[in-house]
Amino acid sequence: MAFGQLDNGSDAQPMHEINVTPLVDVMLVLLVVFIITAPFLTHKIKLDLPKVSAQPSTVQQPVSVSLTKDAKLFVDNNPISREELSQHLQRLAASAQAPNVELRADGQVFYEEVVKILNLIQNAGISKIAFVTEPSGG
């Protein structure tokens, strides 16, 4: 017999076979649990992105707005105040084709300053804003 016997006969020996049925049952239950919970663990945002053909950009030279770590502003390497920046961008936005703005902010500048500049750009009527970064070294 495959299982240990209850009688204390002289030929009683320890069981040599492992019953794997409980192990298989537990593994199947875990598999079902993981199959059910796996879709809830993904953090993707499902988007239906538009499909367009790539065409060369006909936009004029972008306007470069730079913000240093001490909150000084520059437009195309020329120092400028916030009021002058707002007026300058409003003039550009009123032109036939609204410009692209490239925002270059120092990594040490406070986030609040970046948001203020973004708000200033958007209030001027410009919606095409690019954040300029450097590629990582590794």
CATH number at residue 103: 3.30.420.270
Per-residue pLDDT of 112-129, as tens digits, reads 898 999 999 999 888 888
Structure tokens at 16: 């040599």
Domains in the chain: how many in total?
1
For residue 40, being part of any structural domain is answered with: no
pLDDT(40) > 80? no
For residue 90, being part of any structural domain is answered with: yes
For residue 34, being part of any structural domain is answered with: no
pLDDT(47) > 50? no
Rama region for 11: left / alpha / beta (φ>0; ψ in -120 to 50; rest): alpha
For residue 39, being part of any structural domain is answered with: no
For residue 46, being part of any structural domain is answered with: no
Distance in angstroms (rounded) separating the CA atoms of residues 19 and 54: 63
pTM: 0.54
For residue 110, being part of any structural domain is answered with: yes
* Residue 78 domain boundaries: 63-131
